[in-house]
Amino acid sequence: MSSEDRKNGRDNGHSPDGIGISIGLTVNGRRVSLDIPPQLTLLDLLRDRLSLKGAKRSCDLQVCGTCTVLVNGKAVSACTYLAYEARGAEVLTIEGVADGNRLHPIQQAFIDNGAFQCGFCTPGMILAAKSLLDEVPRPSEEKVKEYMQGNICRCTGYRKIVEAILDAAGKTVGPTG
């Protein structure tokens, strides 16, 4: 463990006292089982143990949305969500959103609408948008703005992000009823 990780309270999957918990979960459709220390965050498990780098570390406070992933279809901040809490769950990261080489309609809408600049926040934005559209397949502009409040972009003015999500609405398959 690096001194920086120790200072920030992160162990990146290595428990100095040897205490571990066995968990199993499904990540992007693939079943995984591993031993983890109890304090390991889902973000550290995904990035350091499974080499899935799409979810980003930024605030470590659950306020920026760059670490957003879906757990059983719901958007969570992986930086504060303990990996143990995901035991038995279905976890979806940006790496699992596309269907092979075919982009998900939300991903395509972000491209078509120019809804990203540097791309740092884009994975979290796309996963939050997917969670929204799975819940509310045809949201109003106000609903999109309300739902996306937990995702910060420092490059855009959000207009193109909202337009992309509204464009993707109706092109995605959500629950009926």
CATH number of the domain within which 29 lies = 3.10.20.30
Looking at the structure, do residues 81 and 15 belong to the same domain, yes or no? Answer: yes
3-state SS class at 105: helix
Residues 83, 25 share a domain: yes
Query: pLDDT grade, residue 117 (50/70/90)?
Result: confident
Report the helix count and the strand count for the chain, using DSSP H and E: 6, 5
Residue 116 pLDDT: 86
The CATH number assigned to the domain holding 130 equals 1.10.150.120
Give me the pLDDT at residue 39, please: 96
The total number of structural domains in the chain stands at 2
Please indicate whether residue 13 or residue 41 has the higher confidence score (pLDDT).
41
- The answer to whether the beta carbons of residues 41 and 55 sit under 8 Å apart is no
pLDDT higher than 90, residue 141: yes
In a domain, 99, yes or no: no
Whether residues 84 and 120 share a domain: the answer is no
| Cα distances (angstroms) measured from residue 84 to each of 88, 119, 134 | 9, 29, 25
Domain coverage including residue 142:
105-168
**Average pLDDT for residues 50-72, to the nearest whole number?**
96
86 and 147 housed in the same domain:
no
| C-alpha–C-alpha distance, residues 155 and 148, integer Å | 15
Q: Average of pLDDT values for 45-53?
A: 98
Q: What are phi and psi of 12, to 5 degrees?
A: 50, 35
